[in-house]
A and B are shown apart, each in its own frame.
Chain A
Amino acid sequence: MSSRAKRALLDPIVDDNPVTLHVLGICSALAVTTSLLPSLYMCVALTVVASLANASVSAIRKVLPASIRIIVQMTIIASLVIVVDESLQAFAFETSRELSVFVGLIITNCIVLGRTESFGSKNPVGLSFLDGLGNGLGYSAILILVATCRELLGKGTLLGYTILPNVADGGWYSPNGMMLLPPSAFFVIGLIIWAVRTWKVEQVEEAEFRIHEVHRTEAH
């Protein structure tokens, strides 16, 4: 594997992660991460869509007129999402119902369009496929982390298996109900971003402005 291909695949996992660095795809990360199993399906769905959409856009990049490129990219993404959604309903019925509208909402997931527009439309097919795959995996890594925290602390289970026996069932763990509500995903993602940026200091953004005390002579 050439070093470019390796970078396209592996960079988005930590160094250029779509969720923690670009803060994209947060909406679905809040919604589907109450338990691990639907999150895993969501990860697979997004990864499939992101890699295929990126490769398809790349395949037609030389004939694609700039004036309609966004709508064409959206058409390709939407079609792939519908196919994935229909397949889930056919082969993973229970989970597809739990995910409900969120599979359909991959269409509006900023990661997918972000990659096709910024990478797929400029790079060769193979590389674009790897970039889509890498970004899908980067998103998956965060989703799995968040879902693991939420299911474990919110229900005391993982993939439905009891890890921390609940007080209600005679155990010792009193589940934190807040972890099952969407805001907790914000906290968990925030903590993950903090952790990643403490580890990789170069990801910390330059402050856009500084807050300083205004002297009364400056105030209007």
Chain B
Amino acid sequence: MPEIPKQPSVKRESVTRTLLVAFFVSLVCSSLVASAAVVLKPRQIANALLDVRKNILEVAGLLQPEGDVNELFAAVEPRVIDLETGAYLDDVDPEGFDPVQTRKDPKLSVVIPAELDIARIGRRSKRAVVYLVRDQGEITRIILPVSGYGLWSTLYGFLALEPDGNTVADIIFYSHGETAGIGDFLTKEPWRARWPGKRVYDDAGELRLEVSKGRVAADDPLAAYRVDGVSGATLTGNGVTNLIRYWLGDHGYGPFLKNIQGGGS
């Protein structure tokens, strides 16, 4: 007969005791977790919203280090658009528009055809929120949310265009999981500074903007459309090119930008 291991007390090991302890531990722990989640939720949502707004203000050129983000954000005009036609949907409240939720809703989103899905997004919402910055009624910047797959992760950012809908004003990536120290050049100032002034479409309307492999040669005829890449991070750079090509293409903001270039407000 195998030796029975010495037990501290018979009572402590009974089934009832075990179930009771398990029950009470779970009860206490779950209420702790639940109350923390409930109490902290409003702050977390406010933080996330604040962060998105801060990034929009940054590319809008409106961010002031001392200013209150929510106050400054009042100068930005969010508008919901229908991506297929590029038309504004004024009956949809941009405040209540949640791109993450609508992307999951089969009625409000479309599957991106595989041959068009260069940015590897899978599906996108039928609508999008764009942000307009105006100066005395005239649009001065158009801010478009963009996303796409880099090397390891989905990159999320905002691309700001000049009112002609064809010149880059600024770009910012606020969320990514690329390699630290290499692929995270996306969030670095020197690289961001290479974007303003780059052209999106050529005279024939062909989408040309891209991140080149390594530095753009000085005599490159397409230099106006090419942004310096970072050697060692070619795939992250390609990811940026792909998301630009998708989102500024016909399946992305193309129709909307054509409306803008055609003189719509």
Report B13-37 residues with CB < 8 Å from chain A CB.
13-14, 17-18, 21-22, 25-26, 29-30, 32-33, 36-37
Q: Provide the residues of chain B in CB contact with A76, threshold 8 Å.
A: 25, 29
Q: Provide the residues of chain B in CB contact with A91, threshold 8 Å.
A: 43
Q: Provide the residues of chain A in CB contact with B13, threshold 8 Å.
A: 65-67
Q: Which of B7, B29, B44, B177 contacts A86 (CB 8 A)?
A: B44
Q: Which of A71, A83, A93, A181 contacts B47 (CB 8 A)?
A: A93
- B21 and A65: CB pair below 8 A? yes
- How large, as a class, is the contact surface on chain B? 20 to 34
CA distance A154 to B32 in the complex (A): 40
- A65 and B18: CB pair below 8 A? yes
- A86 and B37: CB pair below 8 A? yes
User: Nearest CB to that of B5 among chain A residues?
Assistant: A66
Q: Which of A68, A72, A83 contacts B33 (CB 8 A)?
A: A83
- A68 and B36: CB pair below 8 A? no
A50 at the interface (CB under 8 A from B): no
- B51 and A93: CB pair below 8 A? yes
- B181 and A154: CB pair below 8 A? yes
- A68 and B40: CB pair below 8 A? no
CA distance A210 to B172 in the complex (A): 57
User: Nearest CB to that of B31 among chain A residues?
Assistant: A79
B12 at the interface (CB under 8 A from A): yes
- B181 and A181: CB pair below 8 A? yes
Q: What is the CB-to-nearest-CB distance from B157 to chain A, in angstroms, rounded to a whole number? A: 15
Q: What is the CB-to-nearest-CB distance from B188 to chain A, in angstroms, rounded to a whole number? A: 10
User: Nearest CB to that of B25 among chain A residues?
Assistant: A72
Q: Provide the residues of chain A in CB contact with B26, threshold 8 Å.
A: 75
Chain A interface, DSSP helix/strand/loop, else mixed: helix
CA distance A68 to B20 in the complex (A): 11
Report A140-193 residues with CB < 8 Å from chain B CB.
154, 168, 177, 180-181
Contact with A along B172-204 (1 / 0, CB 8 A): 000101001110000000100000000000000
Q: Beyond A90-B43, A91-B43, is A82–B33 a contact (Cβ under 8 Å)?
A: yes
- B17 and A177: CB pair below 8 A? no
CA distance A129 to B221 in the complex (A): 68
Q: Which of A34, A60, A71 contacts B180 (CB 8 A)?
A: A34
B137 at the interface (CB under 8 A from A): no
- A181 and B180: CB pair below 8 A? yes
Q: Which of B25, B36, B50, B180 contacts A82 (CB 8 A)?
A: B36
A63 at the interface (CB under 8 A from B): yes
Report B23-66 residues with CB < 8 Å from chain A CB.
25-26, 29-30, 32-33, 36-37, 40, 43-44, 47-48, 50-51
- B181 and A86: CB pair below 8 A? no
Total chain A interface residues with beta-carbon distance under 8 A:
30
- A87 and B181: CB pair below 8 A? no
CA distance A86 to B177 in the complex (A): 20
A27 at the interface (CB under 8 A from B): no
CA distance A180 to B17 in the complex (A): 51
- B181 and A83: CB pair below 8 A? no
- A86 and B12: CB pair below 8 A? no
Q: What is the CB-to-nearest-CB distance from B151 to chain A, in angstroms, rounded to a whole number? A: 15
User: Nearest CB to that of A73 among chain B residues?
Assistant: B25
- A180 and B181: CB pair below 8 A? yes
A24 at the interface (CB under 8 A from B): no
B262 at the interface (CB under 8 A from A): no
CA distance A71 to B23 in the complex (A): 12
Q: Provide the residues of chain B in CB contact with A82, threshold 8 Å.
A: 33, 36-37
CA distance A64 to B24 in the complex (A): 11
A89 at the interface (CB under 8 A from B): yes
Q: What is the CB-to-nearest-CB distance from A66 to chain B, in angstroms, rounded to a whole number? A: 7
Closest 4 CB pairs of A and B: A180-B181, A79-B29, A90-B43, A90-B40
Q: List 18 A-B contacts (CB under 8 A).
A: A60-B25, A63-B12, A63-B21, A65-B12, A65-B13, A67-B13, A68-B18, A68-B21, A79-B29, A79-B32, A79-B33, A82-B33, A86-B40, A87-B40, A89-B47, A91-B43, A180-B181, A181-B181
